């Protein structure tokens, strides 16, 4: 460093000449224009190779997207299930409607109960009839075999533990059966958390693969243009100038790969939407398939472009470093 | 313009290519470097353009001590040196115009000025009519002239040429050398490596003779005769 200050010599020959900023800006713009179009031209000059690379990238990038969509839909469908804290108590069928109302009133007076809903055996039967296929079966029965049901909503508590209310209801002789699915719901949450992590891991792995594919493609690009790079350097091209068209190539590969991935995902969505929608309609009214939204699409395009740029940068930096004169 | 102080270059193979080389070239001077092959002519030129760095000694170009030019500074040094190669090293996928425009594109010259200066350079080497041609469509002599146009388009104060007439017949060689001599007359320093003794005698310019990396003679043919 000190050598640089001691000598005015370097300044004379190697410092950049000062120029008005407007001219510099125009030069910068011209050089980017040049790189922008020349890199696109290179891709277009070998359409088959470029298309293959873009397809590979597209398929690689679409995989984490599918994982994410599956996870996102599972989360959406199970959302209601995970939220519900209700305890369902099936009363002894021997008791009458009055007993059910009395028990409900008793429960409502407790501090840890937020609400109690009474469903009579008649309501239960009507609900069952509405579900497809049960109507005929129910007609065969003489009476109504259904018990009265109390749906008890406990006040908010730590979801990791069962509220004491559940144990007390289980001990109550007037109640036949207590259904409380906390344990099962905790498992579902665990599975979803695993799914989320899985999406992240798959995305990271395939991002690395994308980086390598683009890096390798740009490396081959450089190899076919070694002479051009050498000549450019001999006549005074800065590293930045040499690097720029390759960075743009990487950017194009990444961007086109991401676009291809989005097209693949949309095509698969379209192919699956109708049958999947019908299937879901059987289970839950109004549940639709959640697709890929515009914000995520933009993130994918941005990530693809960034990966391409970085992959190209690493490879070009390596090439440039290998060409410097040794001390 | 150019000064070598006790410069030596030893390659990693242990071969001493240059040993204790000292000379000075004034601005606007045209100098030939000659010697048998392997005498160190090419290495000498490579040290000037920082394609190689000397093992010992100092090289000054236009007042700059090259030992103090770091990697990032190399492109800016090379922009002040026009390089001409034996095999011209044109980019074959570009037109003559685009090849000559390359140094200006690198320095970020405004587009209008690029066109003007490229045509001026092509005019000087007599190839203005061929600006749209691809390099392969030109004769060897014409290709070399395009290479020279590329070297002079940035108006560098120093031109170095490594065997620029190595692939040309005597008639064309003289034409090319006369072209270099013309640049010298307008103040550009020209350093040409050549083993063509007939040509050197004819040009009557200063000649540095290398032998096994040592400077064994420094003369001007006209004076000696």
| Residues of chain A scoring pLDDT < 70 | 1-18, 79-84, 131-133, 156-161, 283-288, 326-327
Check CB contact under 8 Å for A34 and B80: no
Q: Which domain holds residue A227?
A: 30-81+187-322
Check CB contact under 8 Å for B49 and A234: yes
Portion 58-87 of B in contact with A at CB < 8 A = 60-65, 68-80, 83
What local confidence, expressed as pLDDT, does residue A133 receive?
66
**CA of A301, closest CA in chain B: separation in Å?**
31
Contacts of A18 in chain B (CB under 8 A): none
Same domain, yes or no, for A247 and A100? no
- Let me know if residue A165 belongs to a domain: no
Handedness of CA B125, B126, B131, B137 (dihedral sign): negative
Same domain, yes or no, for A90 and A70? no
What local confidence, expressed as pLDDT, does residue A287 receive?
59
Q: Which residues of A touch B (CB under 8 A)?
A: 3-4, 7, 9-16, 23-24, 26-28, 30-31, 34, 227-228, 230-239, 241, 324-327
What local confidence, expressed as pLDDT, does residue B225 receive?
44
- Let me know if residue A177 belongs to a domain: no
B154-201 per-position pLDDT tens digit: 999 999 999 998 888 888 889 889 989 988 888 899 999 998 888 888
Same domain, yes or no, for A75 and A112? no
Check CB contact under 8 Å for A327 and B50: no
Q: Give CA separation, B219 vs A185, A205, B28, B76, in Å.
A: 97, 68, 17, 32
- Let me know if residue A108 belongs to a domain: yes
Residue B98 touches chain A, beta carbons under 8 Å: no
What local confidence, expressed as pLDDT, does residue A157 receive?
64
Contacts of A240 in chain B (CB under 8 A): none
Exposure string for B208-223, b = 16+ CB within 10 A, e = fewer: bbbeebebeeeeebee
Check CB contact under 8 Å for B89 and A238: no
- By C-alpha distance, the chain A residue nearest B110 is A27
What local confidence, expressed as pLDDT, does residue A28 receive?
83
Q: B125 near B146, Cβ under 8 Å?
A: yes
Same domain, yes or no, for A68 and A96? no
Same domain, yes or no, for A125 and A73? no
- By C-alpha distance, the chain A residue nearest B12 is A326
Q: Give CA separation, B216 vs A32, A266, B18, B26, B201, in Å.
A: 50, 77, 12, 20, 17
Same domain, yes or no, for A143 and A263? no
Phi, psi of A290 (to 5 degrees): -85, 125
Contacts of A241 in chain B (CB under 8 A): 75, 106
- Let me know if residue A231 belongs to a domain: yes
Alpha-helical regions (H) of A46-181 = 47-83, 97-108, 121-130, 134-140, 164-171
Question: E strands along B98-223, which residues?
Answer: 158-162, 189-193, 206-211, 214-219
pTM over 0.90: no
Of B64, B106, B150, the CB nearest to A12: B64
Which one of B51, B79, B94 makes the best mutation probe of the A interface by having the most chain A beta carbons within 10 Å?
Answer: B79
- Ordered DSSP codes for B115-135: HHHHHHHHHHTT-GGGTTS-G
Same domain, yes or no, for A316 and A202? yes
CA atoms within 13 A on the CB side of A93: 8
**CA of B82, closest CA in chain A: separation in Å?**
7
Coil/strand/helix, residue B35: coil
Same domain, yes or no, for A97 and A69? no
| Residues of chain B scoring pLDDT < 50 | 224-225
- Let me know if residue A16 belongs to a domain: no
Residue A57 CA to residue A64 CA, distance in Å, equals: 12
Same domain, yes or no, for A203 and A93? no
Contacts of B107 in chain A (CB under 8 A): 27, 236
Q: Which ipTM score applies to this complex? A: 0.89
Phi-psi group of A285: left, alpha or beta (phi > 0 → left; psi -120 to 50 → alpha; rest → beta): beta
What local confidence, expressed as pLDDT, does residue B96 receive?
96
Give me A229's structure tokens: 């790079």
Q: B192 near B207, Cβ under 8 Å?
A: no
CATH assignment of the domain containing A125: 3.30.70.3040
The sheet with strand B2-10 has its strands ordered as B16-25, B2-10, B56-61, B64-65
What local confidence, expressed as pLDDT, does residue A158 receive?
65
Contacts of B51 in chain A (CB under 8 A): 234, 325
**CA of B143, closest CA in chain A: separation in Å?**
15
- By C-alpha distance, the chain B residue nearest A25 is B108
Q: What domains are there in chain B, each with its CATH number?
A: 1-80+157-225 (3.40.50.300), 91-155 (no CATH)
- Let me know if residue A40 belongs to a domain: yes
Residue B120 touches chain A, beta carbons under 8 Å: no
Burial class (CB in 10 A: 0-12, 13-18, 19+), A306: middle
- By C-alpha distance, the chain B residue nearest A28 is B108
Same domain, yes or no, for A91 and A60? no
Contacts of A327 in chain B (CB under 8 A): 53
- Let me know if residue A229 belongs to a domain: yes
Check CB contact under 8 Å for B76 and A227: no
Same domain, yes or no, for A94 and A201? no
Same domain, yes or no, for A228 and A318? yes
Phi, psi of A149 (to 5 degrees): -125, 135
Helix axes A47-83, A182-224, angle to 10 degrees: 170
- Let me know if residue A13 belongs to a domain: no
Q: Give me the number of domains chain A comprises.
A: 2
**CA of B110, closest CA in chain A: separation in Å?**
6
């Amino acid at each position: 460093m000190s050598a640089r200050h001691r000598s005015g010599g370097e300044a004379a020959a190697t410092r950049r000449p000062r120029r008005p900023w407007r001219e510099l800006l125009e030069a910068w713009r011209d050089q980017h224009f040049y790189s922008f179009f020349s890199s696109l031209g290179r891709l277009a000059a070998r359409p088959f190779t470029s298309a293959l690379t873009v397809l590979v990238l597209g398929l690689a990038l679409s995989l984490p997207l599918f994982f994410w969509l599956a996870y996102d839909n599972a989360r959406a469908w199970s959302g209601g299930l995970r939220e519900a804290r209700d305890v369902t108590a099936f009363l002894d069928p021997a008791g009458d409607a009055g007993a059910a109302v009395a028990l409900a009133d008793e429960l409502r007076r407790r501090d840890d109960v937020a609400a109690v809903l009474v469903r009579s055996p008649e309501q239960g039967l009507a609900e069952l009839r509405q579900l497809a296929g049960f109507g005929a079966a129910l007609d065969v029965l003489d009476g109504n075999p259904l018990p009265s049901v109390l749906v008890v909503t406990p006040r908010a508590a730590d979801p990791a533990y069962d509220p004491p209310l559940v144990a007390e209801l289980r001990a109550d002789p007037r109640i036949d059966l207590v259904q409380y699915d906390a344990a099962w719901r905790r498992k579902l949450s665990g599975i979803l958390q695993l799914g989320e992590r899985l999406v992240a891991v798959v995305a990271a792995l395939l991002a690395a693969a994308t980086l390598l594919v683009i890096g390798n493609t740009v490396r081959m690009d450089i190899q076919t243009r070694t002479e051009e790079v050498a000549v450019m350097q001999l006549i005074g091209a800065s590293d930045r100038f040499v690097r720029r068209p390759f960075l743009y190539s990487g950017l194009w590969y990444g961007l086109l790969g991401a676009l291809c991935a989005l097209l693949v995902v949309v095509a698969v969505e379209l192919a699956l939407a109708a049958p999947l929608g019908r299937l879901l309609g059987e289970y839950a009214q109004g549940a639709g398939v959640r697709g890929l939204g515009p914000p995520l699409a933009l993130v994918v395009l941005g990530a693809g472009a960034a990966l391409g740029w970085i992959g190209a940068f690493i490879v070009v930096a390596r090439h440039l470093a290998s060409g410097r004169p040794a001390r | 313009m150019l000064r070598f102080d006790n410069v030596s270059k030893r390659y990693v193979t242990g071969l001493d290519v240059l040993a204790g080389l000292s000379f000075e070239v004034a601005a606007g001077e045209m100098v030939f470097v000659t010697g048998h092959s392997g005498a160190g002519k090419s290495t000498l030129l490579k040290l000037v353009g920082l394609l190689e760095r000397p093992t010992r000694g100092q090289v000054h170009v236009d007042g700059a001590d090259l030992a103090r030019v770091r990697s990032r500074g190399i492109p800016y040094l090379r922009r002040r040196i026009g390089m001409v190669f034996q095999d011209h090293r044109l980019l074959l996928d570009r037109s003559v115009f685009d090849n000559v425009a390359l140094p200006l594109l690198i320095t970020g010259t405004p587009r209008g000025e690029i066109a003007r200066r490229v045509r001026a350079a092509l005019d000087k080497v007599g190839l203005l009519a061929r600006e749209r041609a691809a390099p392969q469509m030109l004769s060897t002599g014409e290709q070399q002239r395009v290479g020279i146009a590329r070297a002079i388009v940035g108006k560098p104060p120093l031109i170095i040429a490594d065997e620029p007439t190595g692939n040309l017949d005597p008639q064309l060689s003289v034409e090319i050398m006369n072209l270099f001599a013309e640049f010298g007359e307008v103040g550009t320093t020209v350093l040409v490596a050549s083993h063509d003794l007939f040509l050197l005698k004819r040009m009557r310019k200063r000649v540095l003779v290398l032998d096994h990396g040592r400077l064994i003679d420094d003369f001007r043919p006209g004076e000696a005769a």
